Structure 1
């Protein structure tokens, strides 16, 4: 298992085949990091599907309003919502969108990120400076690579549980 240096800023994302460990970058994007921890701690990310998974690009999830596999799940609506919390301002940095980085999904408005995020399957440097990078996979990228593809996938994979390592 990867060494967890800062349990308060580490996310354990349980997928069907194992656990993905994500290091949050609180020094780079403090508001996005705080939001992910808040949603994880309240259980809102549990059972949320990966609603947009593009081969050679990224896997997107985090629609806590429409993506929960138990609560009124509708794959056609997944990806159109966020949480009940206010949107976040962009926290752009010089960090590149490399393979395994976590980016904040948003609408055309740079300050519209809320709960949705994506994991880059490869280096996607064309996203640099346009989407907030606030974490990176430090273990389990092979599990991310195995997420079912589709826009939306016919039978989407989901985040079974998402926890802050300090609470696990």
Structure 2
């Protein structure tokens, strides 16, 4: 995928460049507890599975990403393989645009060859069982809500009542490209994703259901925003870019070196009550970011 840096269409790029700096309207969720307190309070904090926790060490600092395998299982499997093989180590954030995203993972640019893995079919949406994977902190009545959270991830969806009319009893859902979301680069071929990813520096909803979003940054959003941007006149291509020095899966690290993350649960009465005052006119990307607490 030599030309994957051309992933985002010119029209989308124009929208991003018009956005300017990396600002967003959604509020930051500030944790008021320590890691020890979160660990001792499973009713309000969820421990992130270390198999799903990606540890990116960059020249600007550490970024922790929680992956959501259920929404894009093929992408999760591919990036797990890439990380465990070390293929992403040393790749650069070669395309970074203020008010948009930071793109990395170009193995060809680093090694003069592709990843050796097949391209990944697009997983732009997924089929969700409202009973098994309920929409949490829903915007509006649960049965008709089209946005909310699932385990701390922003999700947009068909209304749950459509499940009663569908043949498989499921509804179509997807992760929107809110600030902090992790998605996958591709060419104009919808099934051409391979090793390149991008981290959302601002909300960019024109990418929804066009690119496969599969994770979110749970620590290091400030690092994402600190990555060196490219010139607008050159499409965001970066000269002397920041580097992804190493990518690891937390579960593969020795326990003493493994970061542990707890994410605020979005299925509690308290969390839902706090969001109720937002009303029904907001979108999921307008909702507060879900807080996380990190140990080590």
TM-score scaled by structure 1? 0.88
| Relative contact order, higher structure (CA 8 A, sep 6+) | 1
- Deviation string, structure 1 residues 112-145 (Cα, Å, up to 9, x no partner): 1000010010111111110000110000000010
**Paired residues, number:** 157
What's the counterpart of residue 98 of structure 1? 178
Distance of 1:82 and 1:152 partners within structure 2: 20
Distance of 2:92 and 2:73 partners within structure 1: 25
Aligned: 1:153 with 2:238: yes
Unaligned runs of 5+ residues in structure 1 are 73-80
Task: Extract structure 1 runs of 4+ deviating beyond 6 A.
Answer: none
What's the counterpart of residue 103 of structure 2? 60
Aligned: 1:134 with 2:214: yes
CA separation of 1:109 and 1:45: change in aligned 2, threshold 3 A:
same
Of 14, 25, 47, the match for 2:57: 14
Distance of 2:225 and 2:211 partners within structure 1: 21
**RMSD of aligned residue pairs (Cα, Å):** 1.7
TM-aligned CA deviation for residue 23 of structure 1: 0.3
Aligned: 1:164 with 2:207: no
Distance of 1:41 and 1:64 partners within structure 2: 14
TM-aligned CA deviation for residue 5 of structure 1: 1.4
Asked whether the equivalents of residues 20 and 143 of structure 1 are also in contact (C-alpha less than 8 Å), the reply is yes
Q: Which structure shows the higher helix fraction?
A: 2
Asked whether the equivalents of residues 62 and 82 of structure 1 are also in contact (C-alpha less than 8 Å), the reply is no
Distance of 1:129 and 1:11 partners within structure 2: 23
Larger Rg: 2
- Deviation string, structure 1 residues 63-112 (Cα, Å, up to 9, x no partner): 1121x3xx56xxxxxxxx74211100001122100101111100011111
What's the counterpart of residue 77 of structure 1? none
Distance of 1:143 and 1:112 partners within structure 2: 28
Aligned: 1:84 with 2:116: yes
TM-score scaled by structure 2? 0.51
